[in-house]
A and B are shown apart, each in its own frame.
Chain A
Amino acid sequence: MSYTIPIGPYHPALEEPCKIELVCEGETVRDAVVHIGFSFRGIEWLAQRRNYIQNVALVERICGICSNVHTMTFCMAVEKLAGIEPPERAQYIRVVMAELERLHSHILWAGVAAEVMGFQTVFMTCFHLRERVMDTLEAISGNRVNYAMNCVGGVNRDITDPRPVLAVVEEIERQMHETVIPLFTRDRTILARARGIGVLTREKALSHGAVGPTARASGVPQDLRKAAPYAAYDRLEFATPTAEEGDVFARVVVRALEILESCRLIRQALEQMPAGPIRGDLIVAVPPGEATARSEAPRGEVFYYVASDGSDVPARVKVRTPTFVNLPAVRTMVLGASLADVPLIQASIDPCYSCTDR
């Protein structure tokens, strides 16, 4: 006989609200329904009632982790509309910020995943590392979460001394090689909790339109930084790690390798960054038209559509976040899984409900 178990809106491990109703037979999940909408703030509606400058601050509040990628992508769309090309130095600074944000996001996720697995020591190790990244972000921008770095036409703050950033990058690389990666790939507890669990096949990943590490861990090698480069990514060398297994373990491995690639990107960007201005003139209104922009956020593709009627307030702003397309895939991942594995499977896509609901 089957029975239904609701998990949420308060998740056992994650800080944000989402609800999943599980239809189980014994301990085995036979069906699942994911409910969202608990963090709805009407961001798109609000964006059509604020000017372009106010909107940069508004979209930064879509997410508490990948806030920078939202402002960057919004600004990229507006820059296309206005025919503006940000200065070269600003393009490199955008890469540094985007990759520091990826480090912050991936390391935080590794800590949360460890906690869900019941491995508090790894949680503490990851959160110590995350704190170092947040200190660096604060040193650059003055803020720990909403960095206010992007503006239409460039960035608001320069990176005048790259040495402290490089020192943190070196520390993260060392800790990843010496501690985090060996623990996540060799520890028996983690292997037992992650291997063969929550499988999303390549076919299902494509059918769900999955993006980011969730897609790449299922053998879909999509990465907008390579496929449709923006900022300074086309001048930097990096790999796109993938895995074929599509399970929780594959998602762990892909993110761990992406942390190392982010370190590589930050180092190159800081070394190659040319001197010069970091932004152009202040823009208050843009010509009529419509434009789109995409970027590779820590969780995958972020998409912005901005339409202008020529005034200082956009006529339409549409935001599509990565979790919005990855979250429906959780239903596929949990079918046939053990009930006890559901919180970890759900966490393995690194969901952001704040982004999803907007």
Chain B
Amino acid sequence: MNPNDTALASLAGGGAWKQRGGGWWLAARDLSPLVIAEAMAAQGARLVTITATPGEGGAFTLAYHWDLDGTLATTVTAVTGGSVASIVEFFPCADWIEREIRDYMGIAFAGREEAPPLVLRAGDRPGFFVRGEKEVAG
């Protein structure tokens, strides 16, 4: 399935989905994940997972990986300020994925129920993966 031939083409604005590296990719840096999630839900997509990657100055990119009847589509969103909209409303299965990212990267997901840590123990500080090497090593 080519996302450019579906209603998902509208997410690209004036651009287009590009095919590379094992699937279709869309740089949607300024698009709210909620808008993308709503479009994906309408298309019957399955959320595979979300990959969070730390950038410069506390910024992150979030790559949302979607399955469209066997086709892998990825939308990449920028996160600045340490917070991004939760998509649990459209994809309940995002619950654990978002909680794991919060635990490892320290990113907050807004608009969802407060949830306890998933992989850290209660009271541990979120952001395990982005702390300094010395701090992680203890």
Least CB distance, A296 to chain B, in whole angstroms: 11
CB closest chain-B residue, reference A224: B70
Q: Would A289 and B129 be within 8 Å (CB), given that A209-B46, A318-B49 are in contact?
A: no
Q: Are A318 and B91 in contact (CB under 8 A)?
A: no
Which B residues from 74 to 109 make CB contacts under 8 A with A? Answer: 74, 91-93, 95-96, 104
A160 in the interface, Cβ–Cβ < 8 Å?
no
On chain A, the residues within 8 Å of B129 by CB distance are: 44-45
CB closest chain-B residue, reference A329: B93
Q: Are B46 and A305 in contact (CB under 8 A)?
A: no
A109 in the interface, Cβ–Cβ < 8 Å?
no
CB closest chain-B residue, reference A315: B53
Q: Are A290 and B69 in contact (CB under 8 A)?
A: no
Q: Are A328 and B96 in contact (CB under 8 A)?
A: yes
Q: Are A303 and B119 in contact (CB under 8 A)?
A: no
Q: Would A303 and B49 be within 8 Å (CB), given that A37-B119, A37-B120 are in contact?
A: yes
Q: Are B21 and A289 in contact (CB under 8 A)?
A: yes
CB closest chain-A residue, reference B52: A318
Among B65, B69, B74, find the residue whose CB has the most chain A CB atoms closer than 10 A: B65
The distance in angstroms between the C-alpha atoms of A206 and B69, with both chains bound, is 13
Q: Are B21 and A303 in contact (CB under 8 A)?
A: no
Among B22, B47, B49, B63, find the residue whose CB has the most chain A CB atoms closer than 10 A: B22
Q: Scan A35-62; emit 1 where CB is below 8 A from any B CB, else 0.
A: 0110010001100000000000000000
Least CB distance, A86 to chain B, in whole angstroms: 15
CB closest chain-B residue, reference A81: B21
Which A residues from 321 to 356 make CB contacts under 8 A with B? Answer: 324-325, 327-328
Q: Which of B69, B93, B118, B121 contacts A227 (CB 8 A)?
A: B69
The distance in angstroms between the C-alpha atoms of A76 and B74, with both chains bound, is 17
Least CB distance, A267 to chain B, in whole angstroms: 25
Which A residues from 1 to 40 make CB contacts under 8 A with B? Answer: 36-37, 40
Dominant secondary structure of chain B at its interface with chain A: mixed
Among B20, B69, B70, B129, find the residue whose CB has the most chain A CB atoms closer than 10 A: B70
On chain B, the residues within 8 Å of A77 by CB distance are: 22
Q: Which of A206, A290, A292, A315 contacts B72 (CB 8 A)?
A: A292
The distance in angstroms between the C-alpha atoms of A325 and B118, with both chains bound, is 13
Q: Would A305 and B92 be within 8 Å (CB), given that A37-B120, A44-B129, A45-B129 are in contact?
A: no
On chain B, the residues within 8 Å of A226 by CB distance are: 70
On chain B, the residues within 8 Å of A139 by CB distance are: none
On chain B, the residues within 8 Å of A315 by CB distance are: 53
Q: Would A209 and B51 be within 8 Å (CB), given that A37-B118, A81-B21, A291-B21 are in contact?
A: no
On chain A, the residues within 8 Å of B92 by CB distance are: 207-208
B48 in the interface, Cβ–Cβ < 8 Å?
yes
B127 in the interface, Cβ–Cβ < 8 Å?
no
Which A residues from 46 to 105 make CB contacts under 8 A with B? Answer: 76-77, 80-81
On chain A, the residues within 8 Å of B43 by CB distance are: none
Q: Are B46 and A292 in contact (CB under 8 A)?
A: no
CB closest chain-A residue, reference B91: A209
Q: Scan B112-138; emit 1 where CB is below 8 A from any A CB, else 0.
A: 000001111100000001000000100
Q: Which of A207, A305, A316 contacts B65 (CB 8 A)?
A: A305
On chain A, the residues within 8 Å of B95 by CB distance are: 328
CB closest chain-A residue, reference B119: A37
Q: Would A228 and B72 be within 8 Å (CB), given that A289-B21, A292-B21, A305-B65 are in contact?
A: yes
On chain B, the residues within 8 Å of A305 by CB distance are: 51, 63, 65
On chain B, the residues within 8 Å of A327 by CB distance are: 96
CB closest chain-B residue, reference A37: B119
CB closest chain-A residue, reference B53: A316
Least CB distance, B21 to chain A, in whole angstroms: 4
A293 in the interface, Cβ–Cβ < 8 Å?
yes
**Sorted from nearest, which 3 A-B pairs have the closest CB atoms?**
A227-B70, A291-B21, A209-B93
Other than A209-B47, A291-B20, give 4 A-B pairs with Cβ distance below 8 A: A44-B129, A209-B93, A228-B71, A292-B22
Q: Which residues of A contact B (CB under 8 A)?
A: 36-37, 40, 44-45, 76-77, 80-81, 206-209, 224, 226-228, 289-294, 301, 303, 305, 307, 315-316, 318, 320, 324-325, 327-328, 357
- 27 A-B residue pairings within 8 Å (CB atoms): A36-B118, A37-B118, A37-B120, A44-B129, A80-B21, A207-B92, A209-B48, A228-B71, A228-B72, A289-B21, A291-B21, A291-B22, A292-B22, A292-B23, A292-B74, A294-B72, A301-B48, A303-B65, A305-B65, A307-B53, A316-B51, A324-B49, A325-B96, A327-B96, A328-B93, A328-B95, A357-B119
